[in-house]
Structure 1
């Protein structure tokens, strides 16, 4: 492998919703494992490294191709549906918290799924995220 950071590419043209995002990330970060990402917590866990294609603390660069498409796909509409589905499901979800997140989203103060995913990835100091 070349010296420097390990490059990982997420391709936004491969998905248009959150389950599709998890499938894409699983296919690039969890190659040759049975484990698949299916939640935001799962994504956060994998980004610590040591499970898939990079080691814990290893410097990596994630290039998110077609990120503008993903920003639109994982935007307001999909995020609203995401929260509304959790509210409909009820337990084990904290309905008051999710309702607050939905209210914040609809008033322009909350984060879209795209923004939440960006924040989750960028919270890992060993990861450089490039939106392409």
Structure 2
């Protein structure tokens, strides 16, 4: 069982630090992107093996849902648009527009979707 504690962070960077601490213990590699987070969930490095059945409990997930909600997601996309390359500005602008229109996903929803896409992982939000 792996515990992500929403009380330990209030931003996406803080989330990355938390999951690096709990999933990548005793390694030099740290999570720093959504793709990187997805990669470590395949296992084989860090605290569990490839395709090993694991349970992730996300404590204080309601706090995380608020912290990584609409405002944080808007800032995330706006920063990528400002940064430009290597990011696809048009795609990110569309994601920002979708979010503003109530059709897009928040960072919290994206993270949950990433976890749930791994069939060997059971996620419990508490």
TM-score normalized with structure 2 length: 1.00
Does residue 1:38 correspond to 2:32, yes or no?
Answer: yes
Runs in 1 of length 4+ with deviation above 6 angstroms?
none
Q: In 2, distance between residues paired with 1:127 and 1:97?
A: 29
Q: 2:65 maps to what in 1?
A: 71
The alignment of Structure 1 onto Structure 2 pairs a total of residues equal to 126
Matched, 1:25 2:19: yes
CA distance in 2, matches of 1:85, 1:31: 29
2-side partners of 1:27 and 1:102: how far apart? 30
Please state how far the C-alpha of 1:105 moved relative to its aligned partner: 0.1
Root-mean-square deviation over aligned CA pairs: 0.3
Residue equivalent to 2:47: 53
Which of residues 114, 121, 125 is equivalent to 1:120?
114
CA distance, structure 1, for counterparts of residue 41 and residue 113 of structure 2 = 12
Alignment counterpart, residue 14 of structure 1, candidates 8, 25, 30:
8
TM-score of the aligned structures, taking structure 1 as reference length: 0.95
Between the aligned partners of 2:17 and 2:11, the Cα distance in structure 1 is 10
SS at match of 1:49: coil
| Alpha-carbon distance in 2 for matches of 1:94, 1:126 | 31
Aligned to 2:125: 131
